Structure 1
Amino acid sequence: MTRTELRLALQIAFTYIGTVVGAGFASGQEILQFFTMLGPYAYPGILLAVFLFGWIGIKILLLGRKLEAESYRELTAYLFGPRIAGTIDTFMMVMLFFVTVAMLAGVGALFEEQLRISFQIGVLLTMVLTFLTILRGMKGIMLANSIIVPIMLAVTLTIFAKSFLQSDHLPNLHTIQNVAPWRWITSAISYAALNLGLAVSVLVPLGGEIKSARALKIGGLLGAAGLGLMLLGAQYAMSTRLPGILEFEVPMGFLASTFNPLMKALFTVALFGEIYSTLIANVYGLGSQLASPRRPVQGYLVTILILTAAFFVAQVGFSNIVQYLYPIFGNLSFLLLLVLLWPRRKLKN
């Protein structure tokens, strides 16, 4: 493997991780809802989700490369045909919009709970930064993730290590609610489906831009492995503070605040980066569906409209969006996974 391919693989991995981890993942709310509530069954659930991230993520990247796609519209047209593709595209745009709302609500909660700054001010500042990044297109997204993701990995693993070394707080291995023994399987599939459904908006055009199949495969594997490390570390850390951690909008923020001021500050920076990385991916994916890449002025106006609409809807609160909408989107995205895995004719190179 050449040095150029390795650099590309790392950029792909960082972009993959940055697209998946967002307000729900980074704050701990997603992990709490999909895994932590399952007690000891959380760990096999996480491993199954990571396997799906690696397997299906690589398939999406390679399909994007073969289709030479500029947006996920080419992928849905290929998978579902022109008649059904329009309906699928509409569903994905609705999903991307509401997850964009969740990202903005999450950053508002972060500013309010951790920095004691107004919810609205935090959201508006993030909207401006998002717009400036999207002006640079896919290169801007890859550059932003190459900076943010290593910080996110370091902070999450540090929280895990500190939680592991605290002998006065042991992991809670009991389920928080009555669940069926097989629930970890459906929860893992639903979680992977939700996040892969969202990641399609970036992974498809990313695959279309990268010519090296080897870099795409290794990048997909590294991305899945990084997500696995972060999921396992965050899950263990939160399980040591159950059930009290359920009271917080940003449970991982509460964990960081129990260590020392420096750790709390680092977590706040990392969490903001995680939300921001997913936000730019979602807005970019949504904008690429509504405006042609060849008409940049139209794209800028669409981006402003998306962010403005999301700002107003975000006032409903972050945990409400994660609790009620994310499972619905996960179940609907399961259809996309089934179609991706269905045997199909080979594309011409």
Structure 2
Amino acid sequence: MEKESINLKKVVLLAGALAAYWIGSGFSTGQEVLQFFTTSGTKGILAALIFLVVMSYLSYTLYGVGQKEKFENPYDVFEYYCGKVLGQVYIWYSVALVYAIFVVMLAGAGATINQYYGIPTYIGTGVIAILALGTTLLGVEKLIDIIGVIGPVKILFVAIVGIAGIITIFGQPNLLSEASKLMPTLGFKSASSNWAWSGALYAFLALMVSIPFQVDCGKSAGNVKEARTAGLVGTFAFTIAIILLVIAELVYYKLIVGKQVPTLEIANHISPILGLIFSILIVVSIYSAVASFLLMTVRKFAPDRTKKFNIIATVLTAIGMFFGGVLPFDKLVNILYPIAGYSAIVFTCFMIFKELRCRSSVNDDQKNSELKV
């Protein structure tokens, strides 16, 4: 039987960790939301609701299985759902993907710091990489504690930008419909030509890059109910952040044309002080996500805080610093993220099949025990 007690502080921490994990450079700079949601105009808000429905089930399941199975290595979840052979394929694909997105996030860090502070891109990339490495070396439990606090702060500042957009709409009620009509003509890259599919695809993207992390978070919870609640709360909070950012990007669409970091342009327009705070927040967002992705990559090869772990983490950071400093950020997001989303669809089918089979087995056991009685 599951325990009914829930530690509210732990739920917030684990939900915040999930939000912080997802709010990396792609999200905090506005590029992800722009390409997956805002380019669809006001239908992007409906796409966010599709994301909420799909991702709520997936997070609820992964947090729960992480607590129930308590995998020694979080990548074991792939073999749990897909079997030994296909599970190994997914393990190595996931490791490669998470590391590739780690490099993408470093590129986003360089672009952000360069745009706001005028510091050379490679220096910004290097600073974030070194900070992320230092956090990674502390281990997974300490990382969850750190980024679990950062997550709610990120959402709060995204909310400020969104609320400013909503206030602007009250004065110019036709602004959203005007922006929706013009979006396809402004030259923005789009993840998909169909708004509903974009929402679902983003959910599968979020799934594919966070499977081992969600399993680790679930394992850290006190019980299954606490784990599942944290997964749902984290997904809901992240969806609210998506919707608020869509509104802001639509309202301020003229400002963000041709910009690598749309959120920074919007925040600067609202207030130079907010722009300064937001630039720091984006850097913190990127740092926390980069540290998470690096740790999840290294966890495949060695346990936390071992000599082997430290050496691999340092080598992978150095490689990421080099490539993150020279690759174009927006093109990487447009190519890499949709591919990750498509690959997650097959894994979701395996998840659903396994969960249904487990429930069927539990029901059969209950019937057999009742017959014996």
Q: Choose which of 238, 241, 245 in structure 1 pairs with 2:252.
A: 241
Aligned AA for 2:203?
A: A
One of 139, 150, 170 as aligned partner of 2:175: 170
- Report deviation, 1:46: 0.3
Q: 2:288 aligns with which of 273, 277, 286?
A: 277
2:320 to 310, 313, 317: 310
1:146-157 equivalences in 2 (<5 Å): 146-157=148-159
Say which of 251, 272, 288 aligns to 2:299: 288
8 Å CA contact retained: 2:62, 2:214: yes
Instruction: Report the Cα distance in structure 1 between the residues aligned to 2:52 and 2:20, rounded to whole angstroms.
Output: 15
Structure 2 distance, partners of 1:86, 1:191, is: 24
What corresponds to 1:212 in structure 2? Answer: 223
Residue 197 of structure 1 and its aligned partner are, at CA, apart by 1.1
Aligned CA distance change for structure 1 residues 151 and 34 (closer, same or farther; 3 Å): same
Query: Displacement of 1:175 after TM fit?
Result: 6.2
More off after superposition, 298-307 vs 68-77: 68-77
Partner of 1:345: 358
Deviation at 1:288, TM superposition (A): 0.5
RMSD, matched Cα: 2.2
Which position in structure 1 is the counterpart of 2:236? 225
Q: What SS does structure 2 have at the residue aligned with 1:258?
A: helix
Task: Give the equivalent residue in structure 2 for 1:196.
Answer: 207
| 1:182 CA drift (Å) | 8.7
Percent sequence identity is: 20
Determine if contact 1:39/1:176 at 8 Å carries over to the other structure: yes
Deviates more, 1:222-231 or 1:240-249: 240-249
Say if 1:201 and 1:281, in contact at 8 Å, map to a contact too. Answer: no
SS in 1 for 2:183: coil
Aligned twin of 2:102: 100
Q: Which amino acid counterpart does residue 7 of structure 1 have in structure 2?
A: K
Q: Out of 254, 274, 291, which is 1:263 matched to?
A: 274
Residue 129 of structure 2 corresponds to which residue in structure 1?
A: 127
Match of 1:44 in 2: 46
Candidates 120, 136, 144, aligned match of 1:142? 144
What is the letter of the counterpart of residue 249 of structure 2? Answer: M
Separation in structure 2 between the aligned mates of residue 109 and residue 249 of structure 1, nearest angstrom? 7
Asked if 2 retains the 8 angstrom alpha-carbon contact of 1:70 and 1:205, the reply is: no
- How far is 1:296 from its partner? 0.7
How many Å separate the matches in 2 of 1:255 and 1:71? 41
**Distance of 1:264 and 1:26 partners within structure 2:** 13
- The 1-side partners of 2:34 and 2:70 are apart by 37
Structure 2: distance between partners of 1:67 and 1:320: 39
State the Cα deviation string for residues 90-120 of structure 1 (Å, max 9, x = none): 1111110111011100110111001111211
Whether the 8 Å contact between 1:45 and 1:185 is mirrored in structure 2 is yes
Aligned residues: 346
Gaps of 5+ in 2: 363-373
* TM-superposed deviation, 1:4: 6.5
Give me the whole-angstrom Cα distance separating, in 1, the residues matched to 2:145 and 2:66.
Answer: 20
1:215-256 deviations in Å (ceiling 9; x for gaps): 112211211111111001000000112255131100111101
What amino acid maps onto 2:149 in structure 1?
Answer: I
Conservation of the 8 A alpha-carbon contact between 2:64 and 2:225: no
CA distance in 2, matches of 1:144, 1:134: 11
Q: Residue by residue, what CA displacement relative to the aligned partner does 1:285-311 show, whole Å, maximum 9, x if unpaired?
A: 110112234x71100111111111112
Question: Alpha-carbon deviations, 1:172-200, whole Å to 9, x = none?
Answer: 12263399x99222111110111111111
Per-residue deviation, 1:79: 0.9
Q: TM-score, normalised by structure 2?
A: 0.87
Change (3 A) 1:304 1:256: same
> Which 4+ runs in 1 deviate beyond 3 A?
1-4
